[in-house]
Amino acid sequence: MLSATSTSAPTSAPTIPPEDYARFCDFFYRKTGILFGANKSYFVERRLQERMASTRSESFRDYFTMVRFQASGEEMQSLVNAMTVNETYFYREDYQFDALVQHLLPEIARTRRPSDPIRLWSMPCSTGEEPYSIAMQILENWSQADEYSVEILASDIDSRVIAEARQGLYSARALHRLSPALRNRYFTAIGENFRICAELRGSIDFSVVNVTEPLAMRRFRHLDVIFCRNMLIYFDDTSRRQAVEALYESLRPGGYICLGHSESMSRISSMFRPRKFGATILYQRPVDND
Ligand SMILES: C[S@@+](CC[C@H](N)C(=O)[O-])C[C@H]1O[C@@H](n2cnc3c(N)ncnc32)[C@H](O)[C@@H]1O
């Protein structure tokens, strides 16, 4: 039950009793892999409060019962959307995009006929800046882009960010790392915002996917490169291992996974072979006879 007093929060935000907070965090962790420690209680409680107000729930326990048993799963999705951290921007950690066009794509292309698809997956993609950056990088910097059928898939657990990614409307802040040339070529100014061109919007296959749901993950197979950046930092070691094992199954033998700069495979899994490309280490699924 939520009360009007708080001992740990910096303002007068209501708190939930520790045993309910622990039950909620355990439930949310099992559903998403995201682990909220005690230091996140203010963030979590504020968002729970907002969801309770939106659903006119009278108590935390009423709300929690609805989340768990609602047949449509609609409130669970709204809760996930409220709890995720979606910070991203164009050309974030772009040294990996350089490695993609300078090393990975040429290596993959050598084993393919021109008509064969090359499949890339931005998982998680948040509001779309990452997959759109990949598309721009390939069009601008891979001379063989026209010879191959490059498919870019992009997914996230948060249905709100996927809707925004499909819209492709961004603030100037999201574009701060783009050169004026890229900005002019791929965006149209709309008031203070920028809309990415229809060709790029139509070229990315966006979907809502939870990396911890085996059934959903089974739809994603034969990927050549997966960008899984800045999500595992919200997981614990157990859910990190489950996630990378699922992503391993999604990769072709010889395929690569790219992690965020503060994420490393070394403590998570020994299934991948680390490979250094310039300033970055990427992780390769060994080919079967390696
Ligand atoms: C900080 S963003 C990273 C976006 C982008 N990859 C980047 O590096 O800029 C983290 C994203 O992970 C997503 N996420 C968290 N848990 C997830 C899960 N279990 N399955 C899929 N996406 C998840 C969140 O919704 C959020 O959009």
Cβ of 164 less than 6 Å from ligand 1: no
pLDDT at 115: 79
Average pLDDT on 247-271 reads: 96
226 lines ligand 1 (CB under 6 A): no
Categorize the per-residue pLDDT at 289 as very low, low, confident or very high, splitting at 50, 70 and 90: low
Is 96's C-beta closer than 6 angstroms to any atom of ligand 1?
A: no
Helix (H) / strand (E) containing 175: none
What is the pairing mode between strands 117-122 and 149-156?
A: parallel
Question: Band of the pLDDT at 199, cuts 50, 70, 90?
Answer: very high
Long-range pairs for 211-215: beta carbons < 8 A, 24 or more residues apart: 211/33, 211/123, 211/124, 211/157, 211/243, 211/246, 211/247, 212/31, 212/32, 212/33, 212/239, 212/242, 212/243, 212/246, 214/246
pLDDT at 290 (0 to 100): 65
3-state DSSP helix/strand/coil percent for the chain, to nearest 5? Answer: 45, 20, 35
DSSP assignment, residue 128? T
Indicate which atom in ligand 1 lies nearest the CA of residue 209. Answer: 21
- pLDDT single digits (tens) 211-251: 999 999 999 999 999 999 999 999 999 999 999 999 999 99
C-alpha distance from residue 181 to each of 79, 153, 184, 186, 270 (Å): 39, 25, 5, 9, 42
List pLDDT tens digits, range 67-126: 999 999 999 999 999 999 999 999 999 999 999 999 999 999 999 998 789 999 999 999
Best residue among 231, 233, 238, 242 to mutate for probing ligand 1, ranked by most atoms within 8 Å of CB: 231
Strand 223-228 relative to strand 251-259, pairing: parallel
pLDDT of 70 = 96
User: Which of 231, 241, 234 is CA-nearest to residue 40?
Assistant: 234
Evaluate: CB of 137 within 6 angstroms of ligand 1.
no
- Which pTM does this prediction carry? 0.94
- Asked which of 10-19, 150-159, 185-194 is least confident by mean pLDDT, the reply is 10-19
- The CA distance from 130 to 95, in Å, is 13
